Amino acid sequence: MNAHCDLLIVGAGPAGMAAALAAAASGARIVLLDDNPAPGGQIWRDGPQAHLPPAALQHREALEEHTNIELRCGTRVVAIASPNALLLEDAERGFILGYDKLILCTGARERLLPFPGWTLPGVTGAGGLQALIKGNLPVAGERVVIAGSGPLLLASAATAKRNGARVLRIAEQASWRTVAGFMARLPQWPNKVAQAVGLFDPGYRCDSHVLEALGQDRLEGVRLRQGGKVVELACERLACGFGLIPNTQLGQALGCRLDGEAIAVDAWQGTSRAGHYAAGECTGFGGSERALVEGAIAGYSAVGERERAHALWPKRRHWQRFADTLERSFALTPALKTLPHPDTLVCRCEDVPYATLAGCNGWVDAKLASRCGMGACQGRICGPAAQFLFGWQPTPPRPPLSPARIETLLCLEDRTG
């Protein structure tokens, strides 16, 4: 079954929701899709234990009021079907959806770095722990250590504590001086000051990072470097997150140019491909406020409402300054490159250790020699890790972009046959 829309928006997080609402008044036929069961993305992720902020609920209600916005949750992109059509799959079927304009709001994912013991049960990403708890993972009474870099650590700790966990330590790799400088600049964004105060935790330590997860069959403790000393803490859960990586796979597959790790966009949120826009964290991490304004600019631009898009440029500059400050303040220290031991797995899907990759000349060489990045996650975990550890540039994605049923892939044959 083939279908067509005027505007397709991939990703129903803050940016995607804002884009749909901005474009809706034009009367365009809009499809907003997401692979999660409900809109909100990762930052407004729903679930049995989720506490959605008022802004998330307001955006949901607003989407329901527009009959020209079709929300398709539980739907993922499998492949590019033609220049202006995507192969999609939901729980029931695969189908091809054509479009006139497209806005990529594919968000970001956690950067996970390898260290001894990181594959033990009980070790997750910091955002991953948040998602699991919101999905009803019981953590009451468990001892939790959170490590890595950036404000996500504090947010993850707050979610864990709200659900009964004992957060023993939040290990931030940035220095006290850097974090103090960041806090000194926060009054430029008053609501961020309130957030920081609300998330403060007495277990927060700077100049601190994970060295090793301890245990045999599952996590039993963690070894940390704190300043000039090494400390060990017994715990049931360790959550590590070393910043965010923009989700650019679909953008790359569509031929959109990258700027560093993110999708490159112009002042109208347009990508290097005509009629294709991008907004939110796939263009760089900056929080929900930046994502919302970028999404609105993209939505207005896509339907030709350039005056309304232009009016939002000052607000975008305001939140871009916050994003730039955040990136500078929580840049990863080179010391984290020394965490893996020779036998530490870097590619968990194909069991490829650090020593094997250290002898390779690049990403393609690593794939040929070891199958690194060729497992179930298709390099989404080990790719950014190898980029940080060795400076390798990941290769463009190949279809299918996500696991799919044979029946779904046959839709491409039906279209060409």
112-242, superfamily in CATH?
Answer: FAD/NAD(P)-binding domain (3.50.50.60)
Checking DSSP bridges between strand 345-347 and strand 108-110, what pairing results, if any? unpaired
The HSE-up count of residue 75 (CA atoms within 13 Å, CB side) is: 22
Residue 2: pLDDT over 60: no
The confidence score (pLDDT) of residue 1 equals 42
CA distance 91 to 77: 13
The average pLDDT across 385-405 equals: 88
User: Where does the pLDDT of residue 415 fall: very low under 50, low under 70, confident under 90, or very high at 90 and above?
Assistant: low
The average pLDDT across 209-213 equals: 98
Residue 139: pLDDT over 80: yes
The 10s digit of each residue's pLDDT in 284-315 is 988 899 999 999 999 999 999 999 999 999 99
The confidence score (pLDDT) of residue 32 equals 98
The 10s digit of each residue's pLDDT in 20-33 is 999 999 999 999 99
CA distance 304 to 138: 48
* Mean pLDDT of the residues in the chain: 93
Domain 2-109+245-326: top CATH class: alpha beta
The average pLDDT across 355-363 equals: 92
The average pLDDT across 108-134 equals: 95
Residue 403: pLDDT over 90: no
Residue 43: pLDDT over 90: no
The 10s digit of each residue's pLDDT in 221-257 is 999 999 889 999 999 999 999 999 999 999 999 999 9
Residues 85 and 97 sit within 8 Å (Cβ to Cβ): yes
Give residues with Cβ within 8 angstroms of 100, minimum separation 6. 5, 6, 7, 84, 275
Cβ count within 10 A of residue 315 = 16
Q: Would the CATH topology of 2-109+245-326 be identical to that of 112-242?
A: yes
Q: Which of 70, 257, 239 is nearest to 161 (CA)?
A: 239
State percent of the chain over pLDDT 70.
99
Q: Which of 43, 53, 56, 50 is nearest to 108 (CA)?
A: 43
The average pLDDT across 308-337 equals: 96
Domain map (residue ranges) of the chain: 2-109+245-326, 112-242, 340-417
Distance of CA 203 to the CA centre of its chain: 26
The average pLDDT across 113-138 equals: 95
The 10s digit of each residue's pLDDT in 60-104 is 999 999 999 999 999 999 999 999 999 999 999 999 999 999 999
The confidence score (pLDDT) of residue 142 equals 97
